[in-house]
Amino acid sequence: VLFRSADPSGLCIVDYATDDASFLVFEHLVHLGHRHIGFLDLPDSKHREERGYAWLIQKGYERAQRELSFECIRAGTDGSYDDAALMTEVLLRRSPHITAFVTTNGDGPIGVMHALRRRGIAVPESVSLAGVAREKWFRALSPQLTAAEIPLIDMVRRAAEAGLAHLTFESGDACDLFNVPDHTFHLTLSMFGVMFAPKPFEVAAEMVRVTRPGGRIVMGNWIPNDETRSEEHTSELQSR
């Protein structure tokens, strides 16, 4: 199984170590000399269940607090561009000595960057920024920032090596699955895939075609317009 489940009993799980990644982000900033770090975390409501992304981020942060010497000025955000920009302003008013920011997901890094630029604060000359975002967004910014993306393909292959040998891997055009007959699958799954396709409705139609009558189609997508808004904000930052 890829990623943790609510009940992992009897399952072999391949997941990325979000808690370790969270710790390493703070460790890296502290080793660079930062002692006042702004942390745009997820809302407290996301930490209540002892599983999932937010809980693991929290574990890494708590470890950093125990093992490293730094002051953390923290605020919860919903991960959106607007909320991240707003809370960046709030944290800077609360602690003008902040020299680095950590964001956790979504459009947050772009919102932080924009808020800093409005104040005339240069990244990375005056303030360091570490966050989780799509690599193409960070490459499009000026200056270009480094992003670490989730190695999904490698994770799938490791899951197969761990005992799911019945999996096969095929590359192709999701808009035209010509090599897959009608009504092939009991379950057709897309996790944050169709939403990024140039022609998402054609991909959805293909998913319906290759799924058996009575089968299931499961899709995971972000909130409407998140992708477009992020691209718009990236373009706006480029033009400034």
Indicate if the alpha-carbon torsion angle 105, 110, 111, 117 is positive or negative: positive
Longest dimension (CA), the chain: 61
Half-sphere exposure of 28 toward its Cβ, with a 13 Å CA cutoff? 14
- Output 195 or 30, whichever has higher pLDDT: 30
- Cα-flanking dihedrals φ and ψ of residue 226, to 5°? -60, -45
Strands 71-76 and 100-103 turn out to be: unpaired
What pLDDT, on a 0 to 100 scale, did the predictor assign at position 209?
Answer: 94
Q: List the alpha helices (DSSP H) in 147-199.
A: 152-161
Whether the Cβ atoms of residue 79 and residue 106 lie closer than 8 Å to each other = yes
Beta-carbon contacts of 180 under 8 Å, excluding residues fewer than 6 positions away, are 210
pLDDT confidence band for 27 (50 / 70 / 90): very high
Average pLDDT over residues 4-16: 64
How far is it, in rounded angstroms, from Cα 223 to Cα 203? Answer: 19
Give the pLDDT mean for 84-89: 93
Higher model confidence: residue 93 or residue 16? 93
> If we measure between CA atoms, which residue out of 4, 19, 101, 91 comes closest to residue 54?
19
| Element counts in the chain: helices (H) and strands (E) | 8, 6
Residue 7: predicted pLDDT: 63
pLDDT of residue 1: 53
CB 44 within 8 A of CB 74: no
Q: Which of these, 43, 32, 104, lies nearest to 70 by C-alpha position?
A: 32
Residue-level length of the chain? 240
Q: Is the dihedral of CA 224, 16, 37, 234 positive or negative?
A: negative
Give residue 147's pLDDT band: very low, low, confident or very high (50, 70, 90): low
Task: Name the CA radius of gyration of the chain, rounded.
Answer: 20
pLDDT digits (tens, 9 = 90+) for 30-81: 999 999 999 998 877 776 666 677 788 888 899 999 999 999 999 988 878 8
Q: Could you tell me the pTM of the whole model?
A: 0.63
Residue that the structure tokens 């604060």 belong to: 121
Other Cβ atoms within 10 Å of 102 Cβ, number: 28
Say how far apart CA 47 and CA 148 lie, in whole Å. 23
How much is the average pLDDT of 166-177? 81
Predicted pLDDT of residue 231:
45
Residue 167, pLDDT above cutoff 90:
no
Where residue 163 falls (left for φ over 0; alpha for ψ -120 to 50; beta otherwise) is left
